[in-house]
Amino acid sequence: METVRRERARIADVPIPAGVGRPDTAGIPEPGEVRLAPVAPRLAQHRAALVSAMGVPFFEGNSVQILKNGDEIFPAMLAAIEEAQAQVDFLTYVYWTGDAANRFGEALCDAAARGVAVRVLLDGVGAFPMDRQLLQRFKAAGVDVRWFRPVKRLGVFRDLTHRTHRKVLVCDYSVGFTGGVGIGTEWEGNARNPDEWRDTHFRILGPAVQGLQAAFIGNWLECCPHDPVDLPPVSTLSPVGSVPIQVVRSTAALSWSDMSTLHRTLLSLARSSIRICTPYFVPDPATARFLVDAARSGVDVSILVPGEHIDHRVSKVAGEDLYEELLDNGVEIWEYQPTMIHQKITVVDHALVSIGSANLNHRSLFQDDEVQLVAADSDFAGEVEAMLDEDWRGAVPVTPGQWKRRGRLQRFAETVTRLFRRQM
């Protein structure tokens, strides 16, 4: 617990910015002005600590819409592409095959055909199964398609292991999307059976879209270093809501990244509760220790992971090697039963919500390019937790006694994964 105590002592010394948390007495708003709500003192401290740790300020005045499963996610994203008049930037790790892939292909081609500047950036490994005929259609329609560290240039180990796992769509510099969804058959539907994955994406309006745009541009310029940096029109960046959002980008690193700093800061800030949903739970030992320390200090720590329905079984076994220590120290672990659950969400103290592309595993914490949004708003956190309550109802707990009785084969498999856990 000493690790958490030291971090909390440091955070307690962070000054709250002047005016934060005090009622606005400036009078009647100007026409079109969005009045930002006062910030509770503890939430103000959390925000100040996150800015201090990450060196990234919060964008004020955003609106966030929760999109649940393919039936809500894909129509909203496709509508934004279809309504775009000037610009579409699309970055994804997974672009596979199926109806969703074809529908996105048509929408992107149609946008380019009507004069919209459309840029598509695909990860060279994650999107490798993509239909090559669709790529030809992209090029014929005028879609500017690039590959991030393509397979053909994998001459060094770094290119093979360090990918862009970011999932970003920005249209007309004013509406953005991010979350866990990939473009493939697995994400279609409404998680009604094991063939339809459970996932969550988020639609963002307001100044924080600039952060998502920057996440796209950072990866795009690596592929196209001579391209100009597009600057969004100032008129599209006005506040449209009340949710403050911090946008954190991480890039591949040898032993550390901003995504690791973000996760550990969030865990250190917790005073009452931590809820984590992640499809691939393989944290490094230090992050696992932060979870243990938080639970031992009295914080309710609950983690939701996939059950039997998971696409990478070896990743699940690697995470299970940590279960015994976590369970013995009061961390709750729940396994989702209906289908594969792929969303990446952390909620701290019913007020901070971390959403985006990052899993709680070695790859996201240290090796891949990721983008994560931290929303500091208790009302939005309440919406997210109401959704998570439904997910938890579809899960079963892993109990300490049950886990201690696991078989020798399971224990042996866990031990074997230690040899290559850093690659998961």
At residue 188, the pLDDT reads 97
55: left (phi over 0), alpha (psi -120 to 50) or beta: left
Interval 8-62: pLDDT, tens: 444 444 444 444 443 333 333 443 444 455 567 789 999 999 999 999 999 999 9
More confident residue, 131 or 106: 106
Q: Residue 251 falls within a domain, yes or no?
A: yes
Q: Which two tokens stand for residue 314?
A: 């070896």
Query: Which one of 186, 215, 237 terminates a domain?
Result: 237
At residue 236, the pLDDT reads 62
- Exposed, middle or buried, 312 (CB in 10 Å: 0-12/13-18/19+)? middle
- Give ∠ CA 33-178-287 in degrees, rounded to 5: 110
Query: Which one of 237, 257, 274 terminates a domain?
Result: 237
* Spacing of C-alpha 195 from chain mean position: 22
Confidence of residue 155 (pLDDT cuts 50, 70, 90): low
Kindly report the number of other CB atoms within 10 A of residue 128's CB atom: 14
Q: How far apart are CA 317 and CA 282, in angstroms?
A: 9
- The answer to whether 290 touches 367, Cβ cutoff 8 Å, is no
The amino acid sitting at 69 is N
CATH of the domain at 195: 3.30.870.10
Q: Residue 58 falls within a domain, yes or no?
A: no
Q: Residue 372 falls within a domain, yes or no?
A: yes
More confident residue, 46 or 129: 46
Confidence of residue 307 (pLDDT cuts 50, 70, 90): very high
325-347: b or e for each residue (b if 16 or more CB lie within 10 Å)?
ebbebbbbbbbbebbbbbbbbbb
Reported pTM: 0.88
Q: Residue 49 falls within a domain, yes or no?
A: no
257 and 388 housed in the same domain: yes
Query: Which one of 199, 215, 237 terminates a domain?
Result: 237
Q: Residue 329 falls within a domain, yes or no?
A: yes
Q: How far apart are CA 64 and CA 201, in angstroms?
A: 10
Residue with the two structure tokens 């307001």: 206
The amino acid sitting at 76 is A
Q: What is the mean pLDDT of the chain?
A: 88
Q: Would you report the helix, strand and coil content of the chain in percent, each value rounded to 5?
A: 40, 25, 35
Interval 346-393: pLDDT, tens: 999 999 999 999 999 888 888 889 999 999 999 999 999 999 999 999
More confident residue, 419 or 256: 419
231 and 249 housed in the same domain: no
More confident residue, 156 or 227: 227
Q: Work out the percent of the chain whose per-residue pLDDT is above 70.
A: 86
Short-list 305, 360, 368, 307, CA closest to 93:
368
184 and 138 housed in the same domain: yes
Give the structural domain span for 406: 2-7+243-423
> What does the radius of gyration of the chain's CA atoms come to, in whole angstroms?
21
Residue 330 has what DSSP assignment? T
